Structure 1
């Protein structure tokens, strides 16, 4: 592939492939497949690509609701062992004794942490876990001759995948209002539960809420739904704020999914891989996903019985190395880190939602909308400017448009959290300079960010601010400065116009 050599395969080697399926065109003709012809060159090419990225090996990834915690090397090593990586998904049971021990351990540990009676490791993602959990609820109702129960109540603070999963199962979604602090409006919940009582299937909630708050009425919410013969689905996307401190099965949850790729350390940058196992109460045990050989009351939701089993050793290693005390400490640290950050930033930005005690959970939302009204600076400007400070952006405009949601996780040190807070505070000063007329509304470090090295060393510097202000706004950047590979991209134009960076078609001839 890398030596530009033509490989000839004799007819005897490929006669098992039908003639009409044998490829006749060239492949791997892009120059990238032939430019790096030694291992050293390949190593440097991969390193060059890595240097363009802001990843956890360089800085905190403060993406809210993503739980970008450390994926320790020690947890990752077993994935490379052939005993786990080379086994076929449908290998006979006598060849899977080690795997079965691993699977059993994980199921038992997750059951202990969630307070549920049974665990299914089959779902490949959180969204697939939602689907499997709602299928279990729907199957229970139908098995109980309650097939008319097709209403799913979902608060407006819920995760966006919740209504999609409910509709896939065939349920009708009815939204529930939230109060001005993002909590479920109990009056509206009671009203709708009463209205749809005979048809009520379930309620889907996220705890702590997507607004980053522990709702103190969660038990009462569950009791309201149970009083109408329906089930409570508790979305486990924010389980990192609960592990070892509380369990959904103990305060009224009937089914939950867990994101092992978030809470339990499986890397999920770039969109995968994911595992979204579900836990259920005793009366839903017989309705969890079955396997392909013995389909029970609910069929499989994944291509294999245990989903993405080859990466389960990561979560097993994490839980075993942490132990109960370590998991509790991690949860406490995640909550403490976020509240420390919210406390440092509250004098500079509005913290949109807080609990009754004035605290947040494991993530917090800062409101940029008032600043945009006064200065024209929006969340994208702040996100791009953070790149100059060496940080990945927080989650933008979710769950509230015009806000930034920040989640530091337990993995970050006080030094790194302070570094992020100092960057955000300095950015607020840059915004104030615009508001006070000390910086131009259009030609300022925020609107022109991020700044590339090529731009900064150019002979043509026509901005109203200094190069040093653009590249080194804080002294900590003097050690290990990250240089963005590209400047500001016109997102709207890019969304509407395909700009291919590949070689021209003539280069493939």
Structure 2
């Protein structure tokens, strides 16, 4: 007789699917953790945590989960609908060769792409060295004194330059002049940013700039049409009026033409995309800002500086004044919270690999091909602009006919008007490309070498670069693949990322970035599409974007989504702009008050300020919940002017607040709109939808909930999701219609990483997404319950449970022993852990968010470490360890410290290095001891450290060249 099957096919498939790979704990482990927290099932736990008033009644209307193989085949079909033409469009985006050693060992390497923002300096030394290289590269190529560690894109960097100039210029004018040679998409972003701040933009030619009373001007060098203009006289006139000169530039061109800092620029911005980062349909790409030393304290974004550690050795760290602009809350000058670290690292490694001579060789080759093409066209009677680097402005032709021939040849050119067009060459351009381009205009290049010998360069003689750059040994050493490979490996070995350990950061959602999700990003069909390619060449992108928008609409309960914002902060900004435009469209433009609870994310008040709104802070009660009575009172007080409330849900304190529906009703009664910060969406997907409980708009962090990696502090994607009445006020696409302008330089922001979130949602399906949320809630409550005897949880919600994160209160420990939350954070490094979020949102606490992708084994490993640390604190309390000389106050401990010939501490070396026995088999050694932040702030040094500083003599670094 046939025996019945032991298991059904469906059950076997379920347990071998992606859901089981993404979610860390298995069924048995989940059952164990449920018993620990006192519930019988995930559903029972969910019901105990989530208020019934917001709970979704129906499952997500998404397809069922499919396997990794099926999902990759499906997205391969979508990618195949894109047409990869040879693009010579330019306009700020250029073809580039990503060196394979960088492609494989940076972009495709989880040691780099799963790292977090380097707030914990001691475990971020590798990526910060790469960023110091980026800063040095940008500063030296631009001829400026200091540069930051990347901005979001060139358009938003130009907007930041405008506001920096407004803060810093002596001129009291409210006019910002923009050259007509600036890229059109940059001008779009400038217009968006200027209007709420009541800055008047004037656009015109150079002669008009010289006669305009403005606090600043923005020039493009070379211009968007390729012309290299001499701006020295203009810069002098602007300075004479008390204005500042901002310049958008091209780093590769600057290897051959005079640096802006040499002819009068004050602020220089641009995009490092052509240093090895693919088109990606617009991003992510690392922009930069460099400026004069006088402006460094007001510079937006992140700035990597050099300090010393407790042993007197050089150590990198985020400088205090630019650690995050958004920490300044309503006093912030920028809402930037996401840089483009991974892409900045790639660009810096590109410069390290090629070195100054290699970069100049690449630039000279690009320029020679451009000069040869120009000569060929002139011989055929075609008019071509003078004084260029790589971009030809062709005029007096039948542009439509040329474009038609180009399309037939698989070539994209820049459309300007019916009689002119642009051609931008790049590193990927071949001799065959130049010949094909010439044929489009009826020109034939017979012997390209002969034409090369007779064609003069097109660089203005007075603007040829003579100054040196990238002289530090790091840019002159690693030119063989073997050397660069070892250098990058050495740097990654210094860091802690998700490939080594759980990163339990509250509010940051560091979860699995699955390999299957990452694979499509580097496919040519996604990577090699120019953001301004004709629409019929990007049909795959259009399908991917449309489907992802629909997925996010279903997950959130809103009606429309814009994927243009390329960070969470940009998503906030877009959401508030939509609210502002909505009020204006209804004749209520006077509404300018934004209520923000004191527990809100720091970017919230900064975003409101940038939209021209006035921030009114509302109180929280003793349990950390927003004070509904205070919200009601302030909504009534400002009823006529109320524009919006910005709140985070679940709250920044890690709980589901009961009164969220009532809060929405209060705000709506007084004519305001409800903005819900989507940073904590990982506690909601499949369980509750903000758009269904009364919220009008949210931004989402695809680099949190939807699995795009943090990349060491960027890339990010911050879509803006809105209800239907706000949909007309989402940011418009480049060249499109709409009341609200672009918030980033590309219509779809960082489009090339959208396949990651598409893959995640597709492989998880409705059931998997809900289960992920439930396990995230379980993991957080398991940690809180296990640590309850050792560290009290500061805030809890319904049934004494937390949401997806918990705040451990270490303030009583500090009062009793002097041991601080920072001491605990640093001691965790000795256990091989990245610390939880330190002192946010409450000073003296640690906020822990484990996410659903951490296994029970990893959770217990973290809990064991925290319990051991608490035992060490008790030893301080009862006198077994000295109050000052103990392993917490001196953590982290380097291998050099514990292996030294002398040990001067009162506690044993073994306790310092191996506080748990398991560490003897698997040990991460931090490369530096605790970093001295005060020293770094007093001695601001933000470029490559002189090599002699690492020779073992700390005195060599005691008097740095302060910038």
Return the TM-score normalized by structure 1.
Answer: 0.96
- 2:835 corresponds in structure 1 to 393
- 2:776 corresponds in structure 1 to 334
Out of 725, 740, 743, the position equivalent to 1:283 is: 725
Deviation at 1:23, TM superposition (A): 2.5
| Partner deviation per Cα, 1:319-345 (whole Å, 9 max, x = no partner) | 111111111111111111000000011
Deviation at 1:32, TM superposition (A): 2.1
- 1:86 corresponds in structure 2 to 528
| Partner deviation per Cα, 1:219-251 (whole Å, 9 max, x = no partner) | 111111111221100110100111111110011
| Partner deviation per Cα, 1:185-215 (whole Å, 9 max, x = no partner) | 1111111111111111111110000000001
Q: Does 1:253 align with 2:723?
A: no
Deviation at 1:505, TM superposition (A): 10
Which secondary structure does the structure 2 equivalent of 1:232 belong to? strand
Matched residues in 2 for 1:271 and 1:51: separation? 18
In the TM superposition, 1:70-469 aligns within 5 A as: 70-469=512-911
Deviation at 1:417, TM superposition (A): 0.6
Matched residues in 2 for 1:465 and 1:61: separation? 28
Which secondary structure does the structure 2 equivalent of 1:162 belong to? helix
The answer on whether the counterparts of 2:356 and 2:469 sit within 8 Å (CA) in structure 1 is no
The answer on whether the counterparts of 2:472 and 2:944 sit within 8 Å (CA) in structure 1 is no
| Partner deviation per Cα, 1:29-87 (whole Å, 9 max, x = no partner) | 32223333432332222211111111111111111111111111111111101111111
| Partner deviation per Cα, 1:460-506 (whole Å, 9 max, x = no partner) | 11111111111110112122210111112222222222356622699
Matched residues in 2 for 1:293 and 1:489: separation? 49
Rate the CA distance shift 1:156–1:3 in 2: closer, same or farther, 3 A.
Answer: closer
The answer on whether the counterparts of 1:290 and 1:299 sit within 8 Å (CA) in structure 2 is yes
Matched residues in 1 for 2:592 and 2:734: separation? 27
Rate the CA distance shift 1:301–1:448 in 2: closer, same or farther, 3 A.
Answer: same
The answer on whether the counterparts of 1:3 and 1:37 sit within 8 Å (CA) in structure 2 is no
Rate the CA distance shift 1:89–1:505 in 2: closer, same or farther, 3 A.
Answer: farther
Rate the CA distance shift 1:2–1:138 in 2: closer, same or farther, 3 A.
Answer: closer
Which secondary structure does the structure 2 equivalent of 1:211 belong to? coil
Moved more, 252-261 or 289-298: 289-298
Moved more, 192-201 or 12-21: 12-21
In the TM superposition, 1:479-490 aligns within 5 A as: 479-490=921-932
Deviation at 1:147, TM superposition (A): 1.5
Rate the CA distance shift 1:457–1:492 in 2: closer, same or farther, 3 A.
Answer: same
Which secondary structure does the structure 2 equivalent of 1:333 belong to? helix
- 1:62 corresponds in structure 2 to 504
Computed over aligned residues only, the root mean square deviation of the Cα atoms, in angstroms, reads 1.9
- 1:502 corresponds in structure 2 to 945
Which secondary structure does the structure 2 equivalent of 1:349 belong to? coil
Which secondary structure does the structure 1 equivalent of 2:841 belong to? coil
Which secondary structure does the structure 1 equivalent of 2:699 belong to? strand
Matched residues in 2 for 1:206 and 1:3: separation? 47
Matched residues in 1 for 2:655 and 2:518: separation? 32
The answer on whether the counterparts of 2:678 and 2:698 sit within 8 Å (CA) in structure 1 is yes
The answer on whether the counterparts of 1:368 and 1:379 sit within 8 Å (CA) in structure 2 is yes
Matched residues in 1 for 2:645 and 2:810: separation? 32
Matched residues in 2 for 1:411 and 1:214: separation? 21
Matched residues in 2 for 1:304 and 1:37: separation? 33
The answer on whether the counterparts of 2:707 and 2:756 sit within 8 Å (CA) in structure 1 is yes
Rate the CA distance shift 1:190–1:171 in 2: closer, same or farther, 3 A.
Answer: same
The answer on whether the counterparts of 1:335 and 1:362 sit within 8 Å (CA) in structure 2 is yes
Deviation at 1:151, TM superposition (A): 1.0
Which secondary structure does the structure 2 equivalent of 1:197 belong to? coil
Aligned residues: 506
Rate the CA distance shift 1:37–1:135 in 2: closer, same or farther, 3 A.
Answer: closer
The answer on whether the counterparts of 2:510 and 2:704 sit within 8 Å (CA) in structure 1 is yes
Deviation at 1:21, TM superposition (A): 4.0
Rate the CA distance shift 1:350–1:245 in 2: closer, same or farther, 3 A.
Answer: same
Which secondary structure does the structure 1 equivalent of 2:745 belong to? coil
Deviation at 1:2, TM superposition (A): 6.0
Rate the CA distance shift 1:3–1:190 in 2: closer, same or farther, 3 A.
Answer: closer
Matched residues in 2 for 1:505 and 1:148: separation? 60
| Partner deviation per Cα, 1:159-203 (whole Å, 9 max, x = no partner) | 111111111111111111111111111111111111111111111
5+ residue gaps in structure 2?
Answer: 1-353, 373-388, 390-456, 950-963
Moved more, 324-333 or 491-500: 491-500
Moved more, 37-46 or 421-430: 37-46
Q: Which structure is richer in relative contact order (CA contacts within 8 A, separation 6 or more)?
A: 2
Deviation at 1:143, TM superposition (A): 0.8
- 2:452 corresponds in structure 1 to none
Rate the CA distance shift 1:305–1:180 in 2: closer, same or farther, 3 A.
Answer: same
Moved more, 69-78 or 35-44: 35-44
Return the TM-score normalized by structure 2.
Answer: 0.51
- 2:441 corresponds in structure 1 to none
- 2:266 corresponds in structure 1 to none
Matched residues in 2 for 1:487 and 1:418: separation? 26
